[in-house]
Structure 1
Amino acid sequence: MGKIYLSAPDIGAREEEMCIAALRSGWVAPMGPMVDAFETALAQTCGRQYAVALSSGTAALHLGLLELGAVPGKYVVVPTMTFAATANAVVYTGATPVFVDCDPLTGNMSPDLLDEALHQLRREGSDIAAVIAVDLLGHCADYEAIEEICLNAGVPLLSDAAEALGSGRVGRPAGSFGDAAVLSFNGNKVISTSGGGALLTDDQRFAERIRYLGSQARQPVSHYQHTEIGYNYRLSNVLAALGLAQLERLTSMVARRRQLRAQYRETFSGTEGVQLFQGHCDVEDNCWLTAIVVDSVEARWKPNELETALAAQNVETRPLWKPMHQQPVFAGIRAFVRGDADRLFASGLALPSGSALTPAEVARVHDTIREFLAAPLREKGASRV
């Protein structure tokens, strides 16, 4: 019985064809015509003027923060409900992260707490380099509110849309928000380049600086000359070819993920104490990962019990992100929290959501869930709730 993953890469004949073309062209090292074409396609998809393809979403965050002025002695406000890379990139620059709690329905940064954090930091004389907003599980943050708050505070906004390619908000595509935005093409994302990412912006100078810094900050002379520290963050031509093929299929892959979410909505329909996470407002989502939130008192079972039942059928699941303010590596870092991210971490469970899932795999997942929900309470350990 093969393992069913949360979001395995969805690779087909077109991807193979494009990678072979890149290999036969002789452009196998970083940069090349496939990279140029991939950047152009990404910019168009996300409604931006410029895209810079890089080796990872984390690299894009790092360079974006550097160009926004994140340095030692400055602060960057970050959602506590996110993957560690968002906060790690702040530390790479020498700046200090400050964590902000989330909206309990979406898991995205709370605008009112962001506003409170910015005002409090300013009252204390803290120098704020930037705010990072994260599009959690592909659901765009409340950019109408967040952009206005950042504008009024005079603080740049970097949109971490790593999980959100193909999503939108109020008719605008993910990646089009903020002074700049980042994407990830890791193996589990909606489209994959095996490893890779991109930075998006409408500022030509900003894009040129990111491309320069990501190419070892090499000066435009015949010999190797460097006047500042650069980074080896370029994307290879072969991986860009993979990304181009994936981008051609973005619409159909997002449609498949939305179909999978609809099936979960049906399976859990009428189940007491269980809600589809972000399900009240997911019309523009790419549905990167579908998750549920469980009220263990009302449901009389806990998320980890369903996790165990699915694991017994070799099905991967995962709790929602453990908040950054709970992470040992960030112990002592300042946080503006009220417990919402903590509750989502304790009650949430992400389920297999990849567009490559076969009908047989989908049936196995849903059959296991239905069997679990129908089992006597004592089998689900309800006496321990």
Structure 2
Amino acid sequence: MALALRLDATGNGALGENVCLFPGRPAAATRPRSRILLSPPQLAGGELASLDHTLAAGWIAPAGPVPEAFEQAVRAAAGTDYGLATSSGTAALHLGFRVLGVERGDEVWTSTLTFVATLAPAVQMGARPRFLDVAPESWTLDPNLLEDRLAQAATKGRLPRAVVPVDLYGQCADLDAIIALCGRWGVPVLSDSAEALGAEYRGRPAGKGAALTAFSFNGNKIVTAGGGGALVSDDAVLISRARHLASQAKEVAPHYQHETTGYSYGLSSVLAAVGLAQIGALADRVAARRAVFARYALRLSDLPGLVMMPEPGWGRSSRWLTALTIDAARFGATREQVRQALDAAGVESRPVWKPLHLQPAFRGAPFHGSGVAGRLFDGGLCLPSGAMTPAEQDHVIDTIRACCRA
């Protein structure tokens, strides 16, 4: 029986019998999968040929033509002039903080409604986090709140070293407003667009316009390399510095010479080959995810107390994950009761990100806002959003509808 690497919603892998890595090869994946996953990896069909070509040419390490070709493809998708493929999205963010000059004691600000990786590298560098609430119309960083806090910080001489807006679940933050506000005070913007490759903001790719933008190619993303990330920019100097640090900060010399310390953050040729085979399918993948969201919205629209994640007029979300909120008083069941019912029915779902200011790891960090993110966490749920058959999506929808006791 053929075994394949199965990735769960976090991108972690395990050997299983339900997912076939290479279409056309006999495998146990021909059986219906036993569980509907949140965002399983989806293959484009050319991965095996791309891997065969790469390995036959003798390339494995993070060097050579394949990572370079993948970088070019990512730059094209991101609409930027320069870019670096990295071993993970977290590595890309870490490099971004380094090249922006974040040091111990500096403040770094971000939206509280995000995954821990958005700010973890900065905290590990000794920076102090400050969390800002999100706007209800977008679930992303609230520019009005940011403006108020920047003005107050400026009067105290305590401006942040960087601000990190997050493109949540494939939905872009109001980047122009954020860049304008930060530019007034000379604060650089690092866009965490890990979840948003293929999304658009005012007709341009997600993150375009920030000093730096980070993407992820984790196993649960719309385009995956099985891992990996990228840091992109229109600033050649920033990417050159990041590339230097990503290769252990080796200086040009016949011996190993180091003026500073760096990291082993390059993307291997093997993973780059997978990503290169995937990225051509980006537009189709986004269209498919948006269709999944639209079908949920249509079929659940009559249920009281259930509201889909909004899409502000400035952007076109990739809908990496379909998210909604449940008002328990109106719907007749809590978010957690719905999640448990889905789990019992063989469907993976997940609460929206727990705000970082509520996480024990950041206990005591400053938070500013009216609690929008906390309320979204209390009632928010992410639904299966990857490749599904209509029957599988119907099963998810029917299970949710059965929970309604209004």
TM-score range, shorter chain: over 0.9
Provide the residue aligned with 1:372 in structure 2. 403
Deviations along 1:106-126, whole A, 9 cap, x unmatched? 210000111122122222222
Task: Please say if 1:294 is aligned against 2:321.
Answer: no
Provide the residue aligned with 1:94 in structure 2. 126
Q: Which runs of 5+ in 1 are unaligned?
A: none
Task: Please say if 1:152 is aligned against 2:184.
Answer: yes
Q: 2:46 aligns to what SS in structure 1?
A: helix
Give the conservation status (yes or no) of the 8 Å contact 1:183–1:199: yes
Deviates more, 1:37-46 or 1:362-371: 362-371
What is the Cα deviation at residue 222 of structure 1?
A: 2.3
Provide the residue aligned with 1:208 in structure 2. 240
Provide the residue aligned with 2:93 in structure 1. 61
Count, aligned residues: 374
TM-score of the aligned structures, taking structure 1 as reference length: 0.94
What is the Cα deviation at residue 281 of structure 1?
A: 4.8
Deviations along 1:315-342, whole A, 9 cap, x unmatched? 1101111001100010011111211000
Provide the residue aligned with 1:317 in structure 2. 349
Provide the residue aligned with 2:276 in structure 1. 244
TM-score of the aligned structures, taking structure 2 as reference length: 0.89
What does 1:9-20 align with in structure 2 at a 5 Å threshold?
9-20=41-52
Q: 1:223 aligns to what SS in structure 2?
A: coil
Q: Distance in 2 between matches of 1:202 and 1:281?
A: 26
Q: 1:91 aligns to what SS in structure 2?
A: helix
Give the letter for the 2:69 counterpart.
A
Provide the residue aligned with 1:307 in structure 2. 339
What is the Cα deviation at residue 144 of structure 1?
A: 2.0
Identity of aligned residues (%): 44
Q: Distance in 2 between matches of 1:73 and 1:173?
A: 33
Deviates more, 1:94-103 or 1:281-290: 281-290
Q: 1:13 aligns to what SS in structure 2?
A: coil
Give the conservation status (yes or no) of the 8 Å contact 1:139–1:282: no
Task: Please say if 1:349 is aligned against 2:349.
Answer: no
User: Equivalent of 2:207, from 175, 181, 197?
Assistant: 175
Deviates more, 1:279-288 or 1:333-342: 279-288
Q: Distance in 1 between matches of 2:113 and 2:196?
A: 15
Provide the residue aligned with 1:255 in structure 2. 287
Q: 1:177 aligns to what SS in structure 2?
A: coil
Provide the residue aligned with 1:45 in structure 2. 77
Give the letter for the 1:260 counterpart.
V
More helix by share: 1
User: Equivalent of 1:226, from 255, 258, 266?
Assistant: 258
What is the Cα deviation at residue 283 of structure 1?
A: 6.3
Give the conservation status (yes or no) of the 8 Å contact 1:137–1:289: yes
Give the letter for the 1:366 counterpart.
I
Give the root-mean-square deviation of aligned CA atoms: 1.5
Q: 1:99 aligns to what SS in structure 2?
A: strand
What is the Cα deviation at residue 177 of structure 1?
A: 2.8
Q: 1:53 aligns to what SS in structure 2?
A: strand
Q: Which runs of 5+ in 2 are unaligned?
A: 1-32
Provide the residue aligned with 2:16 in structure 1. none
Q: Distance in 2 between matches of 1:312 and 1:301?
A: 15
CA gap of 1:280–1:140, structure 2 versus 1, over 3 A, is closer
User: Equivalent of 2:307, from 266, 269, 275?
Assistant: 275
Larger relative CO (CA 8 A, sep 6+): 1 or 2? 1
What is the Cα deviation at residue 127 of structure 1?
A: 4.5
What is the Cα deviation at residue 349 of structure 1?
A: 0.3
Provide the residue aligned with 1:363 in structure 2. 394
Moved beyond 4 Å, runs of 4+: 279-283
